[in-house]
Structure 1
Amino acid sequence: MLSIGEFSNICKVSTKTLRYYAEIGLIMPVEINPENGYRYYSIEQLETMLFINRLKSYKFSLEEIKTILESEESMDEKLYLVLTKKRKEMEKQVQDIKRNLDQLNDDISNLKQGKSMMSYLEDIDVRLVEVPKMYLLSIRKMVLEYEFAEEYGNCFTDLFKKINNDKLTMFAPPMVLFHSPEFTPFGLDTEFAIPVKEYVTGTRDFNPGLCLKTVLYGSYSNLSSVYTKQREWAEKEGYESDNALYEVYVTDPSQVQKESELITEIYYPVKKKVSNN
């Protein structure tokens, strides 16, 4: 057996941390001397401690690690599932960091050239277009921000099934309409829709009419910049909102390898402001 000090030194984990791990039931000493309270660990527990440290390096919480250790499932099967999920999370984090680093480099470059850090907004193109009436097959519901990706997949899966079952003809790429007047932590009034040629039960008319249109190439994180530029354009030219803002997903986010391959059209229905004079 190993004293807590020896165990601590080998695993490079402080004795204070080991005592805390024992308190939460993560890894317990195999023996505690009743006379002096000295704690002892077995040689076999060294590998357990290495395993815990390995999972901590992958940013698993102590609660998650405890659940894995206590799982009644096959350890290898359980690990495969949780590590695969964690890899996806880390890949997303790496993408976010890379995107932010690229953006940071662009900002530094602009500042070196004497440009404003917000000068990138000048490259966002806003056009006034007339969008004809269309028939929408849709699902409308309140969606929390963190639920959007899952609801996107679920709702469009259901809509494509209905199109297939009812032998409808898809007229344009999938789109999402945002009916909420403001952002709320309790969810957004969101409509997932697919334009179809046929007008049947379950479809509705949608007549966007005059719209500001911007095509976004790349990450959805830039959508707020597009919204900002469109609102600035509308204010400058004397237009105001006339319907729900909507996004058309020209490329399916589940089918692209890199965020740079995403193509999204953003439409902001508008009308001319009425003069008070």
Structure 2
Amino acid sequence: MKEKDEAKKYLELGKQEYKERKYIACIRSLTYAEQLFAALNDKELEGECLIYIANSYIKLGQLDKGIKAYEEAIFKFEGKNTSKKGTCEYLLGLIYRDNKNNISKAKEYLTRAINSFEFVNNLEKQADALRALAIARIKNPRKFVEKKEEIISNFTNALKLFQSVNVKEKMAVTSLELGEFLISLEKYADSLKYLEQAYNYYKSGKSERILFTLRIDLIQSHLLAGNKNAALRYYKEAIEQSKRGYFSEKLEKFSRFF
């Protein structure tokens, strides 16, 4: 009992040090706590320590040590806490996608995360992982063309899940990303549904920068889909917004159409 109290004390200390951005101290405290939990055969709390250790290494820029700690945490959470296992898989997927540029590994971990979050019925996190997987696939130029339908499916499934739990900001971000992906495929008419959804969220003043980007996208898609009147409406809005300091060369290029 004394050992468990000691371990929990250092676990809480390490968490506090992490909040205070004392990452080296956090690693030291939680490494000790993890050793105590290992002696007590408490794998779930070992995993808890390892998540914070991994997070601290990532904050310090020591990616390989962070990856190793996340992988160890996954092993500890197996059969104990599927939700936290999924969180580690998701974070590893992002690291391999954004920092290591290893798309194959990113897809592996993100797919595992999707399955873990589906198992525990965490719809928002499942959607996060689906969206992250779509972005990982976009980053793989060799597979981009043949995987385009899977990318669209990942985005649309993520969007449905975000809608089911009413996470409006993530719905808007995903709609924008899907709309721009469809533009890249020259599916301009298809892109409009998603760009309009994102526009309806951002027009309330959530982000002027994103709103301007959306107006440019909507002008382009409406023009190329043959909807000149709708394009003109967004063009006029973009012109007004440009007077407040927003600018795009694309906006000047559109002037010849009106």
Q: TM-score of the superposition, structure 1-length normalised?
A: 0.28
Q: Which has the higher helix share?
A: 2
Structure 2 length normalisation: TM-score? 0.30
Quick check: which has more Rg, 1 or 2?
1
Bigger proportion of residues as strand: 1
Per chain length, whose mean CA-contact separation is higher, i.e. which structure has more relative contact order (CA < 8 Å, sep 6+)?
1
